[in-house]
Amino acid sequence: MDVRLVEKALLGLFVAAVVATVVSKLRGKKLKLPPGPIPVPIFGNWLQVGDDLNHRNLTAFAKRFGEIFLLRMGQRNLVVVSSPDLAKEVLHTQGVEFGSRTRNVVFDIFTGKGQDMVFTVYGEHWRKMRRIMTVPFFTNKVVSQYRYGWEEEAMRVVEDVKADPMAASEGIVLRRRLQLMMYNNMYRIMFDRRFERMDDPLFERLKVLNGERSRLAQSFEYNYGDFIPILRPFLRGYLRICKEVKDRRLKLFKDYFVEERKKLASTKSVDNAGLKCAIDHILDAEKKGEINEDNVLYIVENINVAAIETTLWSIEWGIAELVNHPDIQQKLRNELDTVLGPGIQITEPDTQKLPYLQAVIKETLRLRMAIPLLVPHMNLHDAKLAGYDIPAESRILVNAWWLANNPAHWKNPEEFRPERFLQEEAKVEANGNDFRYVPFGVGRRSCPGIVLALPILGITIGRLVQNFELLPPPGQAKIDTSEKGGQFSLHILKHSTIVAKPRVF
């Protein structure tokens, strides 16, 4: 195609869009919108703000414009709230009004335009998916049923690290072994399956595809095309890769896990075992016509992303902070030895009688929140918030990281200090009983995975501290805890090498 013709076409689209915007403004009703930087036609605030909408950049805007502000990102309205009172409005008081999910051009691909639970709009489909997923995944009964498996997986991690001659001298990238542990924790629940080794070919394929999905979805690279439709043609290559990765992942889930479980069920071996795993319950719902085959696969997709990776990030952050704060690590070790006895391995019920361990986990989730902006909310219809008009289908971001790190609400929030949750913040829990601290969200769209994440964190961190002295590599005083943020996530930039010296009991 002639280059000049393309330039003229794009210029024509631009002029038409400007005229349409001006006419719309003249005809439209006057709204009282939240404060924010002055937008320009077509691009809104994109030229001023850029693609990188991470929690720290949005905190800087909150300091300029206040606890609620509006960014016009091309055709999208982004409303950011940064106070406990407004978080309560969005997540609880007006939980129905702001209970939907906004997606983007990439998440539309990975979720089949909301056929999953996490990114579907608030309504009947979400209620159905939430109900179907709750029984096999998110209840105390599930914790009681599977906690022995979690304890076994943590024990295997300890044994493998002890058997690695490099661990006690030069150090190892502990995350790699913990990743296998987290896959086994969740695949036991989902499919009654586990992977024996880190080099298991199927495990390797899963890791690669899930990692590629995470990289593509979490990147800020595609925001310009999502915000500004006239630039979307430039995303064709990116979106094609997303679709290829999505298709390969779902085919892997279906061929190697879902179909295999269906065959087992058809031979009655599942019934004879007397114990159903999560996919059995979900396939029962499919047989009853409550959901379709695609919904089944997107439930598996949600668990692979939301349950495995986020918990792994939190474990990694917790270990990094303990390595960099040896006094806190020793204090935790002393509690474990005193309460349980030296060498007596922590189990899931023990986590509730170890207040300092609980405080370490809470402080990790406060300072290093895995989903610092939570998953975005959306209002399907025009709404009101703090006296401002919120146009329909606005993306509502709750800056949960800033709520938990604002010095106006927390004493020395930049410090990793678990003692705060035993002293001035002793009544604050991770379940959102205080809107300054909502690492799992609150209300209808809160993360149900809190039921699994907290005990797994307790068991894993507890066992590692019990059995090892965790240190930075030789020649380093600390390990690097630089952040790497994405569309929703916050994880450690470099997967650190950690020296794990076995303790002698």
Distance CA 314, CA 491 (A): 8
Question: 40 and 47 in contact (C-beta within 8 Å)?
Answer: yes
Pull the structure tokens for residue 231: 């630039």
Positions at the binding site for heme:
447
As a whole number of angstroms, the distance between CA 19 and CA 7 comes to: 18
- Give the 3-state DSSP-derived string for 254-289, with helices as H, strands as E and coil as C: HHHHHHHHHHHHHCCHHHHHCCCCHHHHHHHHHHCC
355-367 vs 326-340: helix crossing angle, rounded to 10: 150
Distance CA 53, CA 430 (A): 25
Question: Binding site: residue ranges?
Answer: 447
Specify the residue for token string 């009655």.
Answer: 268
User: DSSP assignment of 103-162, as one string?
Assistant: --HHHHHHTTTT-SSTTSPSSHHHHHHHHHHHHHHSSHHHHHHHHHHHHHHHHHHHHHHH
What is the separation of C-alpha 361 from the centre of its chain, rounded to a whole number of angstroms?
16
Let me know the angle formed at the C-alpha of 193 by 490 and 344, rounded to the nearest 5 degrees.
Answer: 75
Query: Is residue 428 within a helix (H) or strand (E), and if so which, with residue range?
Result: none
DSSP 8-state symbol, 100:
B
Q: How far apart are CA 323 and CA 329, in angstroms?
A: 7
What is the rounded CA–CA span in Å between residue 223 and residue 52? 8
Task: Output the six-digit token pair for 480.
Answer: 């690097």
Neighbouring residues of 295: CB distance < 8 A, sequence distance ≥ 6: 115, 116, 129, 286
Give the C-alpha separation, 181 to 37, whole Å: 46
Are residues 79 and 377 in contact, defined by beta-carbon separation less than 8 angstroms?
A: no
429 to each of 358, 365, 366, 421, 458, how far by Cα in Å?
10, 11, 11, 9, 15
CA distance 407 to 155: 39
Measure the CA angle with vertex 227, ends 100 and 23; round to 5°: 100
Token match 């990743």: residue? 179
